[in-house]
Structure 1
Amino acid sequence: MRRLTNDAVTTFLGEATRYEAAACPGLQLALSNEPVADMNMLVVGAGADQNRFRDMVDSCLDRQLPFLAIIFPEADKALNDIAADLGLVYAVDFPIMVRDDVPIEPSGNPDVEVVCASGAEDAEASADVLVSAYGMPKDSVLRAQPASLFDSTGIDVYVARTNGDPVGSVTLTYHGDTCGIWAMGTDASRQRCGIGLRLLSTAMAQARNNQIRRFFLGASPAGYRLYEKLGFETVCTANVWVSGETHQA
């Protein structure tokens, strides 16, 4: 799952205006260079060297760049201690969840229209949702997820609307017959209205129509019950450390 996460994070952030990446065995650093921790990620797994881990963390700290370190259970346990010694704050357990090849149909609020986004107008709509859902600066969202992302290969963004207003957004990354789910959010004023269920079930149904057979995601506490309802099961749990503030907790 860590290798799939590496690929997905690179795809998800790869169109960012100031994208930067570095990798070595067991370590993948993907940065939008925006002042939002959730848009800068260090993924850590088996074989990660302690000194190289320190170097990558220090490179972000020296620039005062907020970021997440997602440490998978396969990694050296000492890396969690090193993260704490370097001043990172433990944020949350991060269940990695998988849904295997089971049919799915759109469900949830039938008044919600869901479309596969494209172009600048939909990029603005998706950004508006993420600003509302997570309190992210809109200019950072638009630089990290520019209009070019919405028309790139290997990724789709779905936007949900009610009465023409954007109320939900989710990003899907594609890896053969496997799909990653990222940046799932609904407008803060429209929570618990069946929007998230409609959005995600519709996006997943469309992906299955396009020969996707397995889905994976990292679940925040806020989204965990929705994902369970859709048939996802936890396969492992990563540890998330943060410099700055995160909306994963």
Structure 2
Amino acid sequence: MSVRSDVLQQIEYPAVIQAMENNLIEFIMYCSCIPDAQAYRSFDHIAAITGIPQPSLNVVMRTLMDEATILTRIEEIMVPFKARKVPMLWWIFPGTQPQNIGEYLTQCGIQSNGIEPGMVLDLSWLPADKSNPPGFSIEEVTSDEDLQEWITVSARAFGGDTPSIDPDYITFERCLGWGKELPYRRFLGRLNGKPVATSSIFLGTDVVGLYSVGTLPEARRQGIGSMMSIVPLSVGRALGYNVSVLQSSPAGYNLYHAIGFRECCRIQLYLWAPEE
């Protein structure tokens, strides 16, 4: 896979929304390279099941369905997710058809899980005057030891104090590999030598996708999250990319807006989870 294709030369919202969805699809497909994962592109949807019990790693996207048969199709698509008993997300971007698909998903037991703003940044606007907080540094993950620290910090940043991490998830992250020649690149932030923050980028489909920006609670409100975004995006810009995209959580919205990201769409999420 090439890490650089024809770069979008200007931000036009219909085009960048399409590129955002494409980046997320290609990222999920990349994540589906692990053993026992299933991923396919159908005439009316795209699906991926990694088997890791995280909803964001088991998804349905780019749905284009006929309302006359949609309930049957939803039930058919859900069969492998239910068989493997993994939680999953159904992503609804602005181009999804039909536009009222949420009503049909709800009928099938797949519940609304909120809305995420899709955001875009022209990388020529990336702040050049920001510097690392005192004692803070950022490095790229280049070894298994680095990756283990990245996984541990990310798990805490997004899931709270977790006494253990699913070994299948660790295996999954290792399968994705590391290296500057790959489209998926992770970054680890250290404060006075201690790992406290993570981020990653996925390079492809004309844009830089920014993912996994997280900071440990005790290290927040120091500008670390901003630098964990700016430094990886600077890597993408150096490779010739002009545009970055992301799907923001409510907690991250103001941070991303402050470094120049602007909202370009709203993405609906629907969740299905197996019964305990």
TM-score by length of 1: 0.87
Larger radius of gyration: 2
Same amino acid, percent of matched pairs? 20
Q: Using a 3 Å threshold, how does the CA distance of structure 1 residues 54 and 72 change in structure 2: closer, same or farther?
A: farther
- Rounded Cα–Cα distance in structure 2 between residues aligned with 1:30 and 1:158: 25
Q: Give the alignment of 1:166-205 within 5 angstroms.
A: 166-175=195-204, 177-205=206-234
- Which range is displaced more, 123-132 or 171-180? 171-180
- Rounded Cα–Cα distance in structure 1 between residues aligned with 2:167 and 2:60: 23
**2:157 corresponds to which residue?**
133
1:142 shift after superposition: 1.2
**1:98 corresponds to which residue?**
120
1:143 shift after superposition: 2.4
**1:20 corresponds to which residue?**
38
1:214 shift after superposition: 0.5
Q: Which consecutive segments of 4 or more residues in structure 1 shift more than 4 A?
A: none
- Rounded Cα–Cα distance in structure 2 between residues aligned with 1:31 and 1:41: 7
- Which range is displaced more, 74-83 or 90-99? 74-83
> Aligned pair 1:68/2:97, yes or no?
no
1:68-99 Cα distance to aligned partner (Å, 9 max, x none): 11111221123211211121221111111111
SS in 2 for 1:62: helix
**1:216 corresponds to which residue?**
245
- Which range is displaced more, 103-112 or 220-229? 103-112
Q: Give the alignment of 1:109-120 within 5 angstroms.
A: 109-120=133-144
1:196-223 Cα distance to aligned partner (Å, 9 max, x none): 1111111112221221211001111111
Q: 1:79 aligns with which of 88, 101, 113?
A: 101
- Which range is displaced more, 63-72 or 73-82? 73-82
Structure 1 stretches of 5 or more lacking a match? none
SS in 1 for 2:133: coil
1:108 shift after superposition: 5.2
1:17 shift after superposition: 4.4
- Rounded Cα–Cα distance in structure 2 between residues aligned with 1:243 and 1:58: 12
Structure 2 stretches of 5 or more lacking a match? 1-17
- Rounded Cα–Cα distance in structure 1 between residues aligned with 2:22 and 2:235: 24
Q: 2:47 aligns with which of 29, 39, 55?
A: 29
- Rounded Cα–Cα distance in structure 2 between residues aligned with 1:138 and 1:130: 13
CA contact (8 A) 2:116 2:266 kept: yes
Q: Using a 3 Å threshold, how does the CA distance of structure 1 residues 178 and 6 change in structure 2: closer, same or farther?
A: same
Aligned Cα root-mean-square deviation (Å): 2.3
SS in 2 for 1:96: strand
TM-score by length of 2: 0.79
- Which range is displaced more, 124-133 or 24-33? 24-33
CA contact (8 A) 2:201 2:210 kept: yes
> Aligned pair 1:55/2:52, yes or no?
no
Counterpart residue identity of residue 79, structure 1: I
